[in-house]
Structure 1
Amino acid sequence: MSGSKPIMRLLRLREFPIFQQLQVEERLLRDTQCNWCIINDGTAPPSIVMGISGKPELLLDVRAVIQDQVPVIRRFSGGGTVIVNSDTVFVTIICNRDAVPNLSLYPHPIMRWTEQLYAPVFEGVPGFQLREHDYVLGSLKFGGNAQSIIKNRWLHHTSFLWDYDNIQMQYLKLPSKAPSYRLARPHGDFICRLKDYLPSRDLFLQTIVSALQVHFIVQGSTIDDTGQNMPSKSPRTTKILTSVQLDSFLTDCNPKV
């Protein structure tokens, strides 16, 4: 702690592979005691990211994913399924229990606190709110969230849609457990692009940092500071699904008679 605010280490990345980012997140959550924020401005190559319990055969057009060789990542945290690319902005907050005063370490209170954190970022943009587990403008989703909570630490990961590719969205099926406000709308009628509402991507990123500075003393860090190449103290659960594994899900969808 320094003064009245806790210290938060800020790691700024650009087009860092999302698989490696998730590995870094898992390490920082489990193996460090610092507060962290990771901002990754885009990622390459385009990839599909699923929650730890996601079932590809129910969430993806598995045949198209295999044919187009799209990487499929099963992350260590919960949350839904997204396809991400260079137009996705990732922000992950990792904190100790006492970093946010009076915050209960349960999903809904953490979500509500992040809504307050991001409110200044969208000042002047009508309709910003947390709706169920998503950030929305009115009834249109622009941010999906995933969380992981352990004994004295928590992680909140957001994928912000600065822009998206309609064709890539076709890899995703309409999930059976969709938010009620979705009303079975296809992706194109359910999500929106932040670039249509905010003046610039750089300003968006800077206002996120400014919002963090209200609550934390923000200190810059580098990828080397994360110890990503150090031996792990605990098992890692973020994995890339192999083509063989994906093919098995396809086979399960089409059993032989």
Structure 2
Amino acid sequence: MGKAKQAGLPLMKLVKLRGMPILQQLHLEERLLRTSSDNWCLINDGTSSPSIVMGLSGKLSELVETKPALQDHIPIIRRFTGGGTVIVDQNTIFVTMICNKDVVPKVQPFPRSIMSWSGLLYSEVFEGLADFHLRENDYVFGDRKFGGNAQSITKHRWIHHTSFLWDYEVKNMSYLKLPAKAPQYRLTRDHMDFVCRMKEHLPRSEFIERTIKTVGGHFSVKSISLESIDVPSVSEYVHTTRLLTEQEIREACTIQN
């Protein structure tokens, strides 16, 4: 890309992570959204151990099979963004965009506008590979989901966070209930019929490379290390993202029984 084009693009700081625990990643995202004034792209290649992540307003008893999750010591996290419930592990790839409201032309600070922009961005990433679409709020190949999205919008900034299923364990999907409010295109398909694996379409490293290249067409990307991020430390910042307590999960078990 020519320097003249690069010069006219907004700056985006890119942080590549590998295996960062999802709770730590969500804490970092929340701090960057609320305490930084820079644009950020975070790519976390897998997370350390299986965890269930719920949206800000999701009801635990309606979304998670709490008894098996409790028995198998699966952590359950309530994140600071909206969206649905996912189970993530080392085969999930996370891509997060955090932007100032005025940085992307034609994107209004509303969920649908941000979602349609992200759909166009990822259609570039997957160009020539598979039948990629944005369906309702999901990324799909054909009619099968491989990417779930969550967002949050503040006064001056917004965040768009995606969990990509490069691969998944069939057993892990059994911890998730069929949500009462499911996307229309899902019909009543269970998780196995509804989701698909990205690895059937492209190598893991190629997806990450394609994503970075596509982001570089819209922003002037500057790679930085995790250590060099200058935002308030965990001790100085109160997060809304948190790990649910065993007591909360036990209470949800009694509701389900």
In terms of mean alpha carbon deviation, does 124-133 or 181-190 score higher?
124-133
- Segments of 5+ residues of structure 1 without an aligned counterpart are none
What is the aligned counterpart of 2:76 among 69, 72, 91?
A: 72
Superposition deviation, residue 26 in structure 1: 0.2
The count of aligned residue pairs is: 252
Counterpart residue number, 1:103: 107
List structure 1 runs of 4+ shifted beyond 6 angstroms: none
What is the match of residue 170 of structure 1? 174
For residue 212 of structure 1, what is the aligned residue in structure 2? 215
Aligned to 1:118: 122
**Aligned 8 A contact 1:48 1:72 in 2:** yes
Q: Give the residue type in structure 1 aligned to 2:201.
A: Y
Alignment of 1:130-169 (within 5 A): 130-169=134-173
Q: Is 1:35 paired with 2:39?
A: yes
1:14 aligned to which of 13, 18, 32? 18
TM-score (norm: length of structure 2): 0.95
CA separation in 1, counterparts of 2:141 and 2:77? 28
- Unaligned runs of 5+ residues in structure 2 are 1-5
Cα contact 1:58–1:175 (8 A) shared by 2: yes
Match of 1:240 among 240, 243, 246: 243
SS at match of 1:112: helix
Which residue of structure 1 lines up, in the alignment, with residue 27 of structure 2?
A: 23
Code of the residue aligned with 2:140 in structure 1: it is V
**Partners of 1:40 and 1:89 within 8 A in 2:** yes
RMSD: 1.4
Aligned with 1:124: secondary structure? coil
1:231 Cα offset (Å):
5.8
Distance in 2 (alpha carbons) for counterparts of 1:219 and 1:63: 45
Question: 1:94 aligns to what SS in structure 2?
Answer: strand
Percent identical: 51
Q: Quick check: 2:70–2:249 contact (8 Å CA) kept in 1?
A: yes
SS in 1 for 2:102: helix
Tell me the alpha carbon deviations over residues 7-50 of structure 1, each in whole angstroms, 9 at most, x when there is no partner. Answer: 00000000110000000000000000000000000001110000
The equivalent of 1:223 in structure 2 is 226
| Secondary structure in structure 2 of the residue aligned to 1:40 | strand
Mapped partners of 2:189, 2:129: distance in 1: 23
